[in-house]
Structure formats: C-alpha cells, structure tokens
C-alpha cells in the first residue's frame, strides 16, 4: 500500500526533476552558444552562477556564484538522484502490493 509519505516523496521528486530539467535546458543552451545564462535573482540582477547550500541566517552553509560549467553536471546528477528516489519508492510500493495480494489470495479473498 502506498502511504501519504511515499506519495509526497514521489511528488516532490517529480517536481525537483521538472525544475532541474528546465534549468538544465536553459544552462545548456546558453553554454552551447558560449553565452552566460540569463538567470536573474528576485531583484532582476543577472547571476553569474548558482547557489548551493542550506539556507541559514548567517550563510555559513552556502556557496555563492558556483560557475555554470560546474552547475551543469551537478544538476544532471541531481536529476538522476531524484529519479532513483522515484524508482526506489515505486519498487517498494510494488513489493507491498504484491505481498498484500498474496495475503488476500491465501486468505481466500
């Protein structure tokens, strides 16, 4: 049986993949044209790279302006990792459904 947590984890992983693919496409197209990706912050300022880290009040766990050529393989790895999350949860759900079906068959249902 699929739990609420499993469904949420799958949905979040799909959302991450969707966002990452859009960003990756934008970065890849720009890099192929030897241009800087036109990615802007909330104030409309052009960014020279991405940020990696955990948001904190003191910025102690954050890297700023990670270069675009480094971001591309990181985003690709993130997409692959999120797909693995989906695959693992899906396989766990399949196994749980198979077990439940076998129990029902053994109980004569």
> What digits encode the pLDDT tens for the residues 21-72?
999 999 999 999 999 899 998 999 999 899 888 877 765 788 889 999 999 9
Kind plus residue range of the DSSP H or E element containing 103: helix 68-106
Average pLDDT over residues 71-76: 95
Predicted TM-score of the model (pTM) = 0.80
Query: What's the CA gap between 106 and 43, in Å, rounded?
Result: 63
Average pLDDT over residues 73-88: 97
Task: Answer yes or no: is pLDDT of 109 > 70.
Answer: no
Q: Are strands 62-66 and 50-53 parallel, antiparallel or unpaired?
A: antiparallel
Do residues 74 and 52 touch, judged by C-beta distance below 8 A?
yes
Query: What's the CA gap between 87 and 14, in Å, rounded?
Result: 11
């Amino acid at each position: 049986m699929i739990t609420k947590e499993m469904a949420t984890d799958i949905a979040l992983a799909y959302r991450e993949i969707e966002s990452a693919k859009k960003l990756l496409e934008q970065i890849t197209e720009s890099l192929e044209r030897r241009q800087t990706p036109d990615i802007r912050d909330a104030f409309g300022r052009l960014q020279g790279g991405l940020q990696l880290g955990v948001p904190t009040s003191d910025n102690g766990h954050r890297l700023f302006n990670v270069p675009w050529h480094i971001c591309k393989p990181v985003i690709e790895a993130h997409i692959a990792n999120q797909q693995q999350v989906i695959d693992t949860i899906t396989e766990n759900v399949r196994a749980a459904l198979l077990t439940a079906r076998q129990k029902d068959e053994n109980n004569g249902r």
